[in-house]
Amino acid sequence: MLRHLTCLGLLAAALPALADTATKQPFTIERSWEIQRLGTPTISPDGSRIVAPVTRFVMAEDRGYTDLWLWNADGSGERRFTTHTSGENAPVFSPDGRHIAFVAQREDDKAPQLYVMPIDGGEATRLTTLATGVQSPKWIGDGSKLAFVSRVFTDLPLAEQGKRLDERANSKMTARVFEGSVTAWDQYLDEREFHVFAVPAAGGEVQALTQPTGLSLPRASVMGTDGLFALSPDGAELAFVADSDPAPNRSNLDVFTVALGSEAATNHTADNPANDGSPAYSPDGRYLSYSQQRIKGFYADRMRLMLRERRSGDTRELYPDFDRSISGALWADNSKRLYASIDDAGTERVYELPLNGAPRALTGVESVGALALSTSGRLIGLRQTFIEPPTLVSIDPRRGGTTKLSTINDALLAATDFGTYESITYTGANGAEIQMWVNYPPGFDKTKKYPFFMLIHGGPHNAITNGMAFRWNAQVFSSWGYVTAWPNFHGSSGFGQEFADSINPNWADKPYEDVIKAAQWFAQQPWIDAERMVAGGGSYGGYLTSLILGREHPFRALVAHAAVYNLYTQYAADFAVEMPRFGGFWEEANREMIEKTSPHYHAANFKTPTLVVHGQTDLRVPVNHGQELYQTLLMKGVPTRYVYYPNENHWILKPQNSVFWYQQVKRWFEEHGGLGE
């Protein structure tokens, strides 16, 4: 095994001056909710000012308040820019830098609306009054108009949308009829579509931009639409992503363009059977860049950066030998390079992407994302690690590296007793090197024995990067006394196409072997108590936990959150769209694989105490999976407990529910995992 101490010597520079150790407080889940959370920043065109949404949480009210904050480019002048109780988000500077557009739902608003406010102070002006709300604002051309997205009934004018919404909300007949997709994330879909609109910056009539084309943004875009459209620098053309596959159970996302005011859209990626997205115009208007996948139905397929010369139509792939995914790239003002945050071997690194040359990493072990770039060339983003929450930084586009700008959480962090962490590489399935992140308790002493918590990530392709998660926070678990590990097992993103695709269609065997081999290594360490090892995960991590439950393993207790229990019902409920690549799950050829890899087939072997957690509004992994796993454990007489959330989805997001989740996990490990012994 190779051990890489990538972070221990670097963290002092990332955090404010440390307080006296004796006065520090442990990093409990309650303390994590005291952290103010920064959202994606925006920077003025001249690079002199920065605005970002900041959310603070009030535990007693079980909610957060989001305000816009303002900084000078060097980090000075940090202050709250808005103080309205409704909250504001999605800020974006006007082309002249004099105004900020944002989305808010204020006193008389039935849904979030578009507002514009002078950057030097003054009252905000509401530009829209749409019953269907507003999201993802962008300035058009010279700033005389703004574009935004709204989810609308296409058979009604905008003025009549609210009436239908009210009628449905008040109707005693609640049935819905489907002939296509039923759900997206935690919502049941209706006939509404996401469309791009425009409104004058001074207010006025709203203009439909995509609706006249007969195309819409993907109907399942309930998690956000910001990366699904872009405006040309001259404000004359719109690029957008739409589904060109008419089948209700498949998708083929393509990049279209349409002249503003026209009904004729052009599909520029019709020859690609897989998804295309993230369109962006070069500042000189010459190019349209976008991301492209090649394997239909495989969401973790490598996203290639494509470059289309608008006049000639010539299209080429940039960096065909760069084995990482690129999406959401930002153009530099000279139109000769782009910048992107890239999932790269366990961290999110900022890369410079020249049109002629090779990708160049600008940042190192700390994760940096949520990038914004001024026309003057100033690059900013949010930096984070396991012990640093998202923090506003500037990125040097020439020499690389970051400079800290925000200080909002400094006092809290300085008074918090974090543990250390490191990246370790070990030998997993098929002799492959597997990277994992290990977090240690505060005051870790190798002469002592510690319990161990194996954390199993979701996806299955969503690698754990060096950042502060507020769900499944490794440092919170370490504050209980655990050494924790996040292995980026086979299938994880950021380690190349072959590694990501190595678990398809068999989701089980390689990740299982990787997890068990990691546990075996820890069990051999003199500072680990091999009799007090536990494991758990959510989503795919819950699935693999349930699979481990039916196989040989060294864990004394388990936690299965939002766990897939029966692959047959999961394929039919959520991601059957991916199955045609390997044949239908009902086909005889797939029976042996599913019987081997579906946890419910191995219930005869269940014997480990298992805490089961599920949310009622989870439509990614429907709640029946948690209930079936729990009932099976009950029938077998295996110690179990079911934590059910009637108002949470795939994730536990409400502050008080989150605190309760951690309390229940800790209680379970105290009762069955040896925690505190």
Interhelix angle 540-549/509-523, rounded to 10 degrees, is 70
Q: What is the mean pLDDT of residues 157-171?
A: 97
Q: For 441-491, how does the pLDDT look when each residue is reduced to its tens digit (9 = 90+)? A: 999 999 999 999 999 999 999 999 999 999 999 999 999 999 999 999 999
- Within a domain: 236: no
**Cα four-point dihedral sign 98, 329, 252, 494:** negative
Q: What is the pLDDT of residue 20?
A: 60
Of 63, 91, 126, which one is at a domain's C-terminal end? Answer: 126
Question: How buried is residue 271: exposed, middle or buried, by Cβ count under 10 Å (0-12/13-18/19+)?
Answer: exposed
User: What residue type is assigned to position 484 of the chain?
Assistant: T
Compute the distance between CA of residue 353 and CA of residue 475 in angstroms, rounded to an integer.
34
Q: What does the pLDDT read at residue 5?
A: 47
Q: What average pLDDT score do residues 516-532 get?
A: 98
pLDDT at residue 642, as a whole number: 99
Enclosing H/E stretch for 150: strand 145-152
User: How much of the chain, in percent, has pLDDT values that exceed 70?
Assistant: 96
Mean pLDDT, residues 157-161: 97
Q: What are phi and psi of 46, to 5 degrees?
A: -85, 0
Phi, psi of 79 (to 5 degrees): -160, 160
The answer to whether residue 97 sits within a structural domain is: yes
* Termini Cα distance of the chain: 30
- Tell me whether residue 590 is in a domain: yes
Q: Please, what's the b/e burial string for 27-66 (b: 16 or more CB within 10 A of its CB; e: otherwise)?
A: bbbbbbbebbbbbbbbbbbebebbbbbbbebeeeeeebbb
Q: Which of 71, 99, 126 is the last residue of a domain?
A: 126
Position of tokens 């495989």? 298
**What is the model's pLDDT at position 579?**
57
pTM of the model: 0.95
Mean pLDDT of the chain: 94
Tell me if 161 is assigned to some domain.
no
**182-222, pLDDT tens digit by residue?**
888 899 999 999 999 999 999 999 999 999 999 999 988 88
Among 16-20, 180-184, 320-324, the range of highest mean pLDDT: 320-324
User: Which pLDDT band holds residue 16 (cuts at 50, 70, 90)?
Assistant: very low
**Closest by Cα among 434, 597, 423 to 515:** 434
Q: What is the pLDDT of residues 32-65, one digit of tens each?
A: 999 999 999 999 999 999 999 999 999 999 999 9
Mean pLDDT within 413-420: 98
- Per-residue pLDDT band for 419 (boundaries 50, 70, 90) equals very high
Task: Label residue 169 exposed, middle or buried (CB < 10 Å: 0-12, 13-18, 19+).
Answer: exposed
* Domain boundary, last residue among 101, 126, 151: 126
Q: Which two tokens stand for residue 268?
A: 């520029």
Q: What are phi and psi for residue 525, nearest 5 degrees?
A: -80, 140
pLDDT at 148 over 50: yes
Q: Phi/psi at 77 (nearest 5 deg)? A: 70, 20
Confidence band, pLDDT 50/70/90 cuts, at residue 223: confident
pLDDT at 310 over 70: yes
Residue 370 lies in a domain: no
- Tell whether the model's pLDDT for residue 136 goes beyond 60: yes
Q: What CATH number corresponds to the domain at position 434?
A: 3.40.50.1820
439 found inside a domain: yes
Q: Is residue 169 part of a domain?
A: no
Q: Residue 17 pLDDT more than 50?
A: no
- The whole-angstrom separation of Cα 105 and Cα 666 is 38
pLDDT at residue 14 tops 70: no
* Helix, strand or coil, per DSSP, at residue 303: coil
Count of domains observed in the chain: 2
Q: What is the pLDDT of residues 587-637, one digit of tens each?
A: 888 899 999 999 999 999 999 999 999 999 999 999 999 999 999 999 999
Whole-number Å distance between alpha carbons of 569 and 456: 22
Average pLDDT over residues 532-559: 98
The residue segments making up the domain with residue 82 are 38-126
* Within a domain: 657: yes
- For residue 360, name the pLDDT band (cuts at 50, 70, 90): very high
Q: For the chain, how many helices (H) and strands (E)?
A: 12, 42
Span 528-555, average pLDDT: 98
Residue 221 CA to residue 228 CA, distance in Å, equals 9
Q: Tell me the helix, strand and coil percentages in the chain, rounded to 5.
A: 20, 35, 45
pLDDT the model gives residue 10: 39
Q: How confident is the model at residue 21 (pLDDT cuts 50, 70, 90)?
A: low
